A and B are shown apart, each in its own frame.
Chain A
Amino acid sequence: MTTSETKNPSDSVENKFLSVNIADIMSKDVITVTEDDSVEDVIELFEKHHFHTYPVLSADGELVGVIDQNIILEVLMFDRISRTKHTHMAAIRSLGEDAKSIMISHPVTITSDIGLCDAADLMLKHHINRACVIDDGKLVGIVSKRDVINEVYRTRGLG
């Protein structure tokens, strides 16, 4: 690939990265569950959709947790997994009847004004595949590694 432009193309890409916030790339149409939804309903969601993680909201609409594929697999396969994984917490979770009782109650969250580079840095450094985006305690979206990769790809392509 050749270019006759006088400006440095990498500078241009760098500037574009800096101007992109999470709000620009996150998925805004998020399928959520409420804390009282039954475990069966949650499992059905995993069957119906291809998402890895579902945010759990309280009655007031606040994010209180997440349920991901690992949790569901652990709940479904609890009586088959190795006894070393039969911890007290896992046993309680396997008996859970609603979303609240099986969710991870400490999800990693970021705000929508965080830049693309900071989000990518967080994901790479700490092996986080996706994070809930909250503004003022309310869930406004989810951003995944795929969203970041797609944006970088788009930006480089345009640059």
Chain B
Amino acid sequence: MDTLLLILLIVFLAKVFGEAFERAGFPSILGEISAGVVIGILFIEPDSEVLSFFAELGAIFLLFTAGYREVHIAQLRSASMEALIPTIMQMFFAFGFGLMLGLVFNLGLLQSIFMGVAFSPTSIGVVVKTLIDFDYLSSRPGTMMLTSAIFDDIIGIFLLSIVATMATYNQVPSGMQMFVIAAKLVAYMLIMVFLGLKVFPRLFTHVQKMHVKESIFAFVVIIALFSAYLAELFGLHAVIGAFIGGVLLSDIPLAKIRDVQSKVSGLAYGIFVPIFFAFIGMSVELEFVRTAGIFAVLVVVLALLGKLIGGFIGTRLIGFDYHDSLVFGLGMMPRAGVELVVLSVGRSMGIIGDEVFSAIVLMVVVSIVVSPILLKIAIMSKGDIGHHVD
């Protein structure tokens, strides 16, 4: 199929399906994945080089905007340490369940570790609407979810950076190799922090004076691509670099002018990210999902249970009552964007096969659909809707 027509069709269907899902009360990401599934069934295999390159840019910009728009270093510092226990517990259990499942099914240690990493992230945005509808956003579990999610992406991306680097050795690395991985990660971080604190702020004061059109916007995109490329040079994955680049730009006033933010968001969510989600949908082996049986069911159930049990125990440890702990655990279950980026990294690096990939995409879809419903039932079970504000 003609590439122009293909891109046009993907963006068009992703937006139309996304809108349909939004109107039906579900996040648009489901529509964008569905658009990919439909295109995959009706037209083509996702083997177009142009398409996979666009999808890679989508993953890069998804994580770049996550760092650039959604992370504030000051907020991290002020986030309550109390949230660390539930956060670590829910990630630990999710990771552990993924790892165990991989080992039980003889997937090999690296692929099993990757499954653990892929079980770890949370996308809190999926349940925010439910929390608002039931006046639960400002409740104790609601605020704990928001604080926990501050750490979530960062820990998830840190885990991904380790497992993605391990994959370049095609095996679980030796002690010396682990040292090299750690040294590369530290060296990359030192360079980026130096650039972020000393170079980027000065750079933007000069860029702002340039006469060419859209200079600031162009340099924000340049830094996103530069951070991604430099990460690859250091043996890290591009998406990890993009996230770090985004975090470093998140406090530079000229890079965060509302107009520039809006353009970056337009580039990401108008074009590349929908293509990325659709590409995920196109890459799903439907035949496998249909016949997967016990493995796919266990991936879905354990990934959700890991978050629920870990979140429940973690919040019980810091003194939540039974009901609030249940609400917290359920709120931590949904996965979305970051999860799919982690997954696509695993697939593109050859860490996971099509079966694991398809099963985890299924888990993401199920988690987005069931988490708000289960959360709603749990909140309603307390019977004091609308009055629960700590």
Contact = CB atoms under 8 A, between A and B. Distances in A.
Partners in one complex: yes
Interface in B54-108: 69-70, 72, 74-75
Contacts of A125: 208
A104 B28 CA distance: 28
A86 B128 contact: yes
Contact of B137 (A87, A94, A104, A108): A94
A126 B208 contact: yes
B146 A88 contact: yes
A128 B254 CA distance: 10
B202 interface: no
A7 to B, nearest CB: 30
Given A86-B132, A91-B137, A106-B251, A126 B70 contact: no
23 contacts: A70-B258, A83-B22, A83-B128, A83-B129, A84-B22, A86-B129, A86-B132, A87-B69, A88-B70, A88-B146, A88-B150, A89-B70, A91-B125, A95-B137, A95-B138, A95-B143, A106-B250, A106-B251, A106-B253, A106-B256, A108-B253, A122-B208, A127-B259
Nearest to B18: A84
B132 A89 contact: no
Contacts of B256: 104, 106
Interface string B237-253: 00000000000001111
Interface size class of A (residues with CB under 8 A): 20 to 34
A107 B132 CA distance: 29
B260 interface: yes
A137 to B, nearest CB: 14
B132 A78 contact: yes
Interface size class of B (residues with CB under 8 A): 20 to 34
Given A84-B28, A95-B143, 13 more contacts: A70-B258, A83-B128, A87-B69, A88-B124, A88-B125, A106-B251, A106-B256, A122-B208, A125-B208, A126-B257, A127-B257, A127-B258, A128-B259
B112 to A, nearest CB: 30
Interface string B208-232: 1000000010000000000000000
A88 B149 contact: yes
A87 B66 CA distance: 10
Contacts of A104: 256
B43 to A, nearest CB: 28
Interface in A64-85: 70, 78-79, 82-84
A126 B75 contact: no
Interface string B124-136: 1100110010000
A108 B125 contact: no
Contacts of A92: 75, 146, 150
A105 interface: yes
A71 to B, nearest CB: 11
Please indicate which of the listed interface residues B128, B208, B251 has the most CB atoms of chain A within 10 Å of its own CB: B128
B368 to A, nearest CB: 12
A126 B253 contact: no
Contact of A87 (B22, B70, B250, B253): B70
A126 B259 contact: yes
A95 B257 CA distance: 24
A78 B125 CA distance: 13
Per CB-CB distance, the 5 closest pairs between chain A and chain B, nearest first, are A127-B259, A86-B128, A106-B253, A79-B132, A83-B129
B27 interface: yes
A21 interface: no
B161 to A, nearest CB: 21
Contacts of B208: 122, 125-126
B254 A108 contact: yes
Contact of A86 (B125, B259, B260): B125
Nearest to B251: A106
A127 B191 CA distance: 32
Nearest to A89: B70
A51 B164 CA distance: 50
A128 B74 CA distance: 24
A111 to B, nearest CB: 11
A109 interface: yes
